[in-house]
Protein backbone atom coordinates (compact mmCIF):
# COMPACT_ATOMS: atom_id res chain seq x y z
CA UNK A 1 0.00 0.00 0.00
CA UNK A 2 2.79 2.39 0.81
CA UNK A 3 4.95 1.74 -2.22
CA UNK A 4 3.55 1.75 -5.70
CA UNK A 5 4.06 -1.77 -7.01
CA UNK A 6 3.77 -0.74 -10.63
CA UNK A 7 6.53 1.84 -10.40
CA UNK A 8 9.21 -0.54 -9.18
CA UNK A 9 9.18 -2.81 -12.19
CA UNK A 10 12.63 -3.06 -13.59
CA UNK A 11 15.22 -2.31 -10.94
CA UNK A 12 18.55 -1.73 -12.75
CA UNK A 13 20.99 -4.61 -12.55
CA UNK A 14 23.68 -2.34 -11.16
CA UNK A 15 21.36 -1.43 -8.31
CA UNK A 16 20.41 -5.03 -7.54
CA UNK A 17 24.10 -5.90 -7.35
CA UNK A 18 24.58 -3.33 -4.61
CA UNK A 19 21.54 -4.12 -2.51
CA UNK A 20 23.25 -7.01 -0.68
CA UNK A 21 26.04 -4.66 0.37
CA UNK A 22 23.55 -2.13 1.72
CA UNK A 23 21.82 -4.90 3.57
CA UNK A 24 25.06 -6.02 5.16
CA UNK A 25 25.88 -2.47 6.21
CA UNK A 26 22.42 -2.11 7.74
CA UNK A 27 22.87 -5.35 9.67
CA UNK A 28 26.11 -3.93 11.03
CA UNK A 29 24.36 -0.79 12.23
CA UNK A 30 21.56 -2.80 13.79
CA UNK A 31 24.05 -4.95 15.69
CA UNK A 32 25.60 -1.83 17.17
CA UNK A 33 22.18 -0.69 18.33
CA UNK A 34 21.88 2.14 15.81
CA UNK A 35 18.26 2.59 14.77
CA UNK A 36 18.52 5.41 12.25
CA UNK A 37 21.06 6.31 9.57
CA UNK A 38 21.45 9.03 6.96
CA UNK A 39 22.25 8.21 3.35
CA UNK A 40 25.70 9.68 3.98
CA UNK A 41 26.46 7.27 6.82
CA UNK A 42 25.03 4.23 5.10
CA UNK A 43 26.84 5.04 1.87
CA UNK A 44 30.16 5.33 3.71
CA UNK A 45 29.60 1.95 5.34
CA UNK A 46 28.78 0.38 1.99
CA UNK A 47 31.63 2.04 0.12
CA UNK A 48 29.57 4.13 -2.34
CA UNK A 49 28.57 7.78 -2.79
CA UNK A 50 25.46 8.97 -1.03
CA UNK A 51 23.79 10.14 -4.24
CA UNK A 52 24.15 6.69 -5.72
CA UNK A 53 22.74 5.09 -2.61
CA UNK A 54 19.71 7.38 -2.60
CA UNK A 55 19.01 6.74 -6.27
CA UNK A 56 19.35 3.00 -5.71
CA UNK A 57 16.93 3.06 -2.80
CA UNK A 58 14.50 5.24 -4.70
CA UNK A 59 13.96 2.34 -7.09
CA UNK A 60 12.34 0.26 -4.37
CA UNK A 61 10.14 2.93 -2.95
CA UNK A 62 10.31 5.89 -0.62
CA UNK A 63 11.41 4.50 2.70
CA UNK A 64 13.37 7.47 4.06
CA UNK A 65 12.25 10.49 6.04
CA UNK A 66 13.51 13.86 4.83
CA UNK A 67 15.55 15.71 7.39
CA UNK A 68 16.04 12.48 9.38
CA UNK A 69 17.28 9.52 7.36
CA UNK A 70 16.32 5.87 7.18
CA UNK A 71 15.08 3.62 9.95
CA UNK A 72 17.59 0.77 10.01
CA UNK A 73 15.26 -2.16 10.66
CA UNK A 74 12.59 -1.04 8.26
CA UNK A 75 14.98 -0.40 5.39
CA UNK A 76 16.72 -3.71 6.01
CA UNK A 77 13.37 -5.46 5.81
CA UNK A 78 12.41 -3.72 2.59
CA UNK A 79 15.68 -4.63 0.92
CA UNK A 80 15.39 -8.21 2.15
CA UNK A 81 11.93 -8.45 0.73
CA UNK A 82 12.98 -7.00 -2.59
CA UNK A 83 15.85 -9.45 -2.84
CA UNK A 84 13.55 -12.33 -1.96
CA UNK A 85 15.31 -13.12 1.31
CA UNK A 86 12.18 -13.21 3.43
CA UNK A 87 11.56 -16.70 2.19
CA UNK A 88 14.15 -19.41 2.35
CA UNK A 89 15.93 -20.79 -0.65
CA UNK A 90 16.95 -24.44 -0.76
CA UNK A 91 20.42 -24.72 -2.33
CA UNK A 92 22.33 -27.73 -3.60
CA UNK A 93 26.10 -27.77 -4.01
CA UNK A 94 27.50 -30.02 -6.72
CA UNK A 95 31.14 -31.06 -6.60
CA UNK A 96 32.70 -31.90 -3.27
CA UNK A 97 36.33 -31.03 -3.94
CA UNK A 98 38.22 -28.48 -1.89
CA UNK A 99 35.98 -25.64 -2.95
CA UNK A 100 32.74 -27.56 -2.53
CA UNK A 101 33.89 -28.55 0.93
CA UNK A 102 34.54 -24.93 1.86
CA UNK A 103 31.21 -23.80 0.43
CA UNK A 104 29.32 -26.50 2.32
CA UNK A 105 30.83 -25.23 5.56
CA UNK A 106 30.48 -21.54 4.72
CA UNK A 107 28.29 -19.91 7.32
CA UNK A 108 27.56 -16.83 5.19
CA UNK A 109 24.94 -18.75 3.23
CA UNK A 110 22.75 -19.70 6.13
CA UNK A 111 22.58 -16.16 7.48
CA UNK A 112 20.52 -14.86 4.58
CA UNK A 113 17.79 -17.38 4.07
CA UNK A 114 19.86 -19.78 2.02
CA UNK A 115 19.70 -23.36 3.21
CA UNK A 116 22.06 -25.96 1.85
CA UNK A 117 19.80 -28.97 1.54
CA UNK A 118 22.03 -31.28 -0.42
CA UNK A 119 25.60 -32.01 -1.42
CA UNK A 120 26.06 -33.89 -4.66
CA UNK A 121 28.97 -35.54 -6.42
CA UNK A 122 29.40 -38.06 -9.16
CA UNK A 123 32.38 -39.72 -7.51
CA UNK A 124 31.16 -43.02 -6.03
CA UNK A 125 33.86 -42.96 -3.37
CA UNK A 126 32.53 -39.74 -1.91
CA UNK A 127 28.85 -40.69 -1.95
CA UNK A 128 27.60 -41.50 1.50
CA UNK A 129 30.34 -39.58 3.28
CA UNK A 130 29.13 -36.84 5.57
CA UNK A 131 30.34 -33.26 5.10
CA UNK A 132 29.29 -30.43 7.37
CA UNK A 133 26.47 -32.59 8.67
CA UNK A 134 25.06 -33.56 5.29
CA UNK A 135 25.54 -36.81 3.39
CA UNK A 136 26.98 -36.63 -0.12
CA UNK A 137 24.40 -37.89 -2.58
CA UNK A 138 24.56 -38.98 -6.22
CA UNK A 139 23.46 -36.78 -9.12
CA UNK A 140 20.41 -38.98 -9.55
CA UNK A 141 18.95 -37.43 -6.41
CA UNK A 142 18.38 -34.15 -8.24
CA UNK A 143 14.89 -34.69 -9.59
CA UNK A 144 13.65 -35.70 -6.16
CA UNK A 145 15.26 -32.67 -4.52
CA UNK A 146 13.49 -30.28 -6.86
CA UNK A 147 10.14 -31.98 -6.42
CA UNK A 148 10.26 -32.69 -2.70
CA UNK A 149 12.41 -29.90 -1.30
CA UNK A 150 11.67 -27.11 -3.76
CA UNK A 151 15.31 -26.87 -4.76
CA UNK A 152 15.69 -23.69 -6.81
CA UNK A 153 19.38 -22.77 -6.78
CA UNK A 154 22.33 -24.93 -7.76
CA UNK A 155 25.98 -24.21 -7.04
CA UNK A 156 28.54 -25.77 -9.37
CA UNK A 157 31.91 -26.38 -7.74
CA UNK A 158 33.23 -29.05 -10.09
CA UNK A 159 36.21 -28.92 -12.45
CA UNK A 160 35.54 -27.12 -15.71
CA UNK A 161 35.45 -30.35 -17.68
CA UNK A 162 32.28 -31.63 -15.98
CA UNK A 163 30.60 -28.29 -15.37
CA UNK A 164 28.46 -28.30 -18.52
CA UNK A 165 27.18 -31.82 -17.82
CA UNK A 166 26.31 -30.89 -14.27
CA UNK A 167 24.65 -27.72 -15.52
CA UNK A 168 22.54 -29.68 -18.00
CA UNK A 169 21.49 -32.07 -15.25
CA UNK A 170 20.47 -29.16 -13.01
CA UNK A 171 18.46 -27.54 -15.78
CA UNK A 172 16.80 -30.85 -16.69
CA UNK A 173 15.76 -31.27 -13.09
CA UNK A 174 14.14 -27.85 -13.14
CA UNK A 175 16.74 -25.63 -11.47
CA UNK A 176 16.65 -22.20 -13.02
CA UNK A 177 19.32 -20.32 -11.05
CA UNK A 178 22.91 -21.43 -11.07
CA UNK A 179 26.04 -20.13 -9.38
CA UNK A 180 29.06 -21.35 -11.29
CA UNK A 181 32.53 -21.55 -9.75
CA UNK A 182 33.99 -23.59 -12.61
CA UNK A 183 36.21 -21.56 -14.93
CA UNK A 184 34.14 -21.97 -18.09
CA UNK A 185 31.18 -20.52 -19.94
CA UNK A 186 27.94 -22.45 -19.49
CA UNK A 187 25.30 -22.74 -22.19
CA UNK A 188 21.77 -22.64 -20.80
CA UNK A 189 18.30 -22.23 -22.30
CA UNK A 190 16.35 -19.00 -21.95
CA UNK A 191 14.88 -18.47 -18.54
CA UNK A 192 17.85 -19.88 -16.69
CA UNK A 193 20.18 -17.47 -14.88
CA UNK A 194 23.83 -18.21 -14.43
CA UNK A 195 26.20 -16.13 -12.34
CA UNK A 196 29.87 -16.88 -12.47
CA UNK A 197 32.49 -16.46 -9.78
CA UNK A 198 35.99 -16.94 -11.05
CA UNK A 199 38.81 -16.71 -8.57
CA UNK A 200 41.56 -16.57 -11.15
CA UNK A 201 39.81 -13.87 -13.18
CA UNK A 202 39.83 -11.58 -10.18
CA UNK A 203 43.55 -12.08 -9.68
CA UNK A 204 44.19 -11.32 -13.33
CA UNK A 205 42.33 -8.04 -13.08
CA UNK A 206 44.38 -7.17 -10.01
CA UNK A 207 47.57 -8.04 -11.88
CA UNK A 208 46.59 -5.69 -14.69
CA UNK A 209 46.22 -2.78 -12.32
CA UNK A 210 49.31 -3.74 -10.36
CA UNK A 211 51.40 -3.78 -13.54
CA UNK A 212 49.97 -0.44 -14.49
CA UNK A 213 50.90 1.06 -11.13
CA UNK A 214 54.42 -0.37 -11.37
CA UNK A 215 54.88 1.11 -14.83
CA UNK A 216 53.62 4.47 -13.69
CA UNK A 217 56.10 4.33 -10.83
CA UNK A 218 58.95 4.21 -13.31
CA UNK A 219 59.65 0.54 -13.83
CA UNK A 220 60.08 -0.76 -17.32
CA UNK A 221 59.15 -3.95 -19.13
CA UNK A 222 62.07 -6.13 -20.24
CA UNK A 223 61.13 -9.36 -21.99
CA UNK A 224 57.74 -9.16 -20.38
CA UNK A 225 59.10 -8.79 -16.86
CA UNK A 226 59.05 -5.67 -14.75
CA UNK A 227 62.47 -4.22 -14.00
CA UNK A 228 62.88 -1.32 -11.66
CA UNK A 229 64.74 1.54 -13.27
CA UNK A 230 67.40 3.34 -11.24
CA UNK A 231 65.34 6.32 -10.25
CA UNK A 232 67.75 8.80 -8.65
Residue whose CB is less far from DNA, 62 or 129: 62
Question: Per CB under 7 A, which of residues 47..86 are in contact with DNA?
Answer: 48-52, 54-55, 57-58, 62-70
For 226, residues 6+ apart whose C-beta sits below 8 A from its C-beta are: 211, 214, 215, 219, 220
Query: Segment contacting a second copy (CB under 8 A): 32-40, 98-106, 135-143, 165-173?
Result: 98-106
Residue whose CB is less far from a second copy, 3 or 17: 17
Give the integer Cα–Cα distance in Å for 156 and 147.
20
Our finding on whether 29 is near DNA (CB under 7 A) is no
Instruction: Write the burial class of residue 100 (CB in 10 Å: 0-12 exposed, 13-18 middle, 19+ buried).
Output: buried
Give the integer Cα–Cα distance in Å for 26 and 28.
5
**CA dihedral angle for residue 55, residue 77, residue 80, residue 10, rounded to 10 degrees:** -40
For residue 191, report the phi and psi dihedrals to the nearest 5 degrees.
95, -10
Our finding on whether 195 is near a second copy (CB under 8 A) is yes
Residue whose CB is less far from a second copy, 68 or 208: 208
Question: Per CB under 8 A, which of residues 34..73 are in contact with a second copy?
Answer: 45-47
The beta-strand segments (E) located in the chain are 36-37, 64-65, 69-71, 89-94, 114-120, 130-131, 134-137, 153-156, 177-180, 193-196, 220-222, 225-227
Query: Segment contacting a second copy (CB under 8 A): 22-30, 31-39, 56-64, 117-125?
Result: 22-30
Our finding on whether 85 is near a second copy (CB under 8 A) is yes
Residue 57 interacts with, from a second copy, DNA, none (CB under 5-8 Å by kind): DNA
Binding site for a second copy (CB under 8 A): 16-17, 19-21, 23-25, 45-47, 81-87, 89, 91, 98-99, 101-103, 105-106, 108-109, 111-114, 152-153, 176-179, 183-185, 191, 193, 195, 197-213, 224-226
Binding site for DNA (CB under 7 A): 12-15, 37-40, 48-52, 54-55, 57-58, 62-70
Amino acid sequence: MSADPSSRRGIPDATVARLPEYLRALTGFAERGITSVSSEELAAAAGVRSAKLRKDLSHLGSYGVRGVGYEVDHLAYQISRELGLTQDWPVAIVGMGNLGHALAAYSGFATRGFRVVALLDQDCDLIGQEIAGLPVRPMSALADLVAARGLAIGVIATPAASAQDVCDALVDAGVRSILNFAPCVLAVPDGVDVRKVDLSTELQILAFHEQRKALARGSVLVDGSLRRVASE
